[in-house]
Structure 1
């Protein structure tokens, strides 16, 4: 009987390390966006995020991969996927100007629950009753975090939820495309679609960058987003999603820490209760997914 590869545990540990590092990068990205939004228009920060991504990925990967990097079977889906992620970034960058980083990140974490909801409503997938309970529990936690009518007033209180639904569609499309498309090709098109579309709006919002410090922060936004998504690719190449998903919630901790260091913000009791509900419902849903997909493995013959 053949033995399983000895490197598998080490690869899984490396994948978890890449994922945790990616969540830290995303927390720094969100915190920097909130800070720099006081000095430059948000759409400028969005443009820097994708322009940096496009140039860096092209400079690093094109010499290594050549024409295969741009080869795709679904160019229209690549454009749609890049546009969806650009919309997610634009909405989230605006939302961060109205709410704390930690609470914003917690709401992002209900995305897997929203994917379940959309799959049931539009893809006609069967959802067991317990999953519906988790979905509604996650939404209840999100409402405790957002608290419409509280500090986040008016239309701004809806932005995080709009962003989550957009991000859920992005994830559904990504899961479909990943079956036939190369991950690095998708990463390449993500940057260029976002940069080109954002460039259309740039002349209407561009203003002089106040100083070199602000310019460095805008570049940091691009670097954190680009490297963070690349680390996600490396993580999911090394181990299965069910192993990694629980560690995604570590981003909430990193975001709360960054929000405390930079802005001196500490979530209140209701916000903490909402965050706990989101983590509990999301982690339980991830465990159920892993359990449902666990199939008996045929042992190979000796």
Structure 2
């Protein structure tokens, strides 16, 4: 290890903690704007600005390109992520940010199941134990029948399964794509899907935006900026440190989400929720680390788009 590597690793950790903070703040903001705007409008704003920022970024860079080696992969991947985001945004209108984040953090655990069923990969007993542990943690958070969350818990679960399928697909093709190009197609596909949904919605989006106060418009823009910034920080983090080093620090998002939810909405997880979140954090981080190690053993470079544990 060169003398500069520890410093680079610390910078990478700082970037990934910044990304986790962006996503937690974004989710808190989504919960706020969800009371004023439709899911379709929030989704359109989120991916529309994302696509615009990445278009400008690539256009001004001499080293980046809009050309994709696997355009169908980009479309399918973007569609899965857009569906995940739609489910996430709908969930955040109905449940606390911390509990939502905990369920979505099951993604690396669910990816194990998807890899077994879809890709027919062999799964060790340890990884199956982490799957069971992760879902046990989710049950503790949700506590079916308690009335704390209710049926809304199905929405982040749907987002988690969709994101796990997205990650399994990404693990096959992302190493052959420029992560900045892939990040552009994330926004482009998302806004393409969100536009007809927005036009088909009951409320006129132009009238809705014109009638909204400035603070709500600012919050809507913040959702898009925070989501795009989070993904860019992940890309920068992977350029400074290996994924196996960074993965556990993404779970800072659990604590950040709990803090943001408390500061903005006065909602603090109870003791059982903290226990469930801790179990999910341990099982999810361990599963993510094993997934990264397995990719390394297959001699596949892990890109930033593979390092996402949540659908934002």
TM-score, structure 1 as length reference: 0.91
Q: Please tell me whether residue 263 in structure 1 is matched to residue 240 in structure 2.
A: no
Shift in CA distance, 292/94, structure 1 to aligned 2, threshold 3 Å:
closer
Q: Which range moved further: 220-229 or 138-147?
A: 138-147
Shift in CA distance, 114/129, structure 1 to aligned 2, threshold 3 Å:
same
Of residues 148, 152, 155, the one that matches 1:151 is: 148
Report SS of the residue matched to 1:69.
Answer: coil
Partner of 2:214: 212
1-side partners of 2:153 and 2:51: how far apart? 31
Partner of 2:252: 250
Partner of 1:197: 193
1-side partners of 2:254 and 2:291: how far apart? 21
Q: Please tell me whether residue 123 in structure 1 is matched to residue 125 in structure 2.
A: no
Shift in CA distance, 51/280, structure 1 to aligned 2, threshold 3 Å:
same
Task: Report the CA distance between 1:255 and its aligned residue.
Answer: 0.4
The answer as to whether partners of 2:58 and 2:66 remain within 8 angstroms in 1 is no
CA RMSD of aligned residues (A): 1.8
Q: How do 1:15-26 and structure 2 match up within 5 A?
A: 15-26=12-23
1-side partners of 2:293 and 2:57: how far apart? 38
The answer as to whether partners of 2:107 and 2:161 remain within 8 angstroms in 1 is yes
The answer as to whether partners of 2:46 and 2:227 remain within 8 angstroms in 1 is yes
Report SS of the residue matched to 1:64.
Answer: coil
The answer as to whether partners of 2:109 and 2:288 remain within 8 angstroms in 1 is no
Task: Report the CA distance between 1:151 and its aligned residue.
Answer: 2.5
Shift in CA distance, 188/289, structure 1 to aligned 2, threshold 3 Å:
closer
Partner of 2:172: 176
Of residues 19, 26, 29, the one that matches 1:29 is: 26
Report SS of the residue matched to 2:148.
Answer: coil
Alignment gaps of 5+ in structure 1: 296-302
Of residues 229, 239, 242, the one that matches 1:240 is: 242
The answer as to whether partners of 2:114 and 2:168 remain within 8 angstroms in 1 is no
Report SS of the residue matched to 1:157.
Answer: helix
Alignment gaps of 5+ in structure 2: 298-312
2-side partners of 1:95 and 1:287: how far apart? 27
Of residues 6, 31, 50, the one that matches 2:3 is: 6
2-side partners of 1:125 and 1:7: how far apart? 37
TM-score, structure 2 as length reference: 0.88
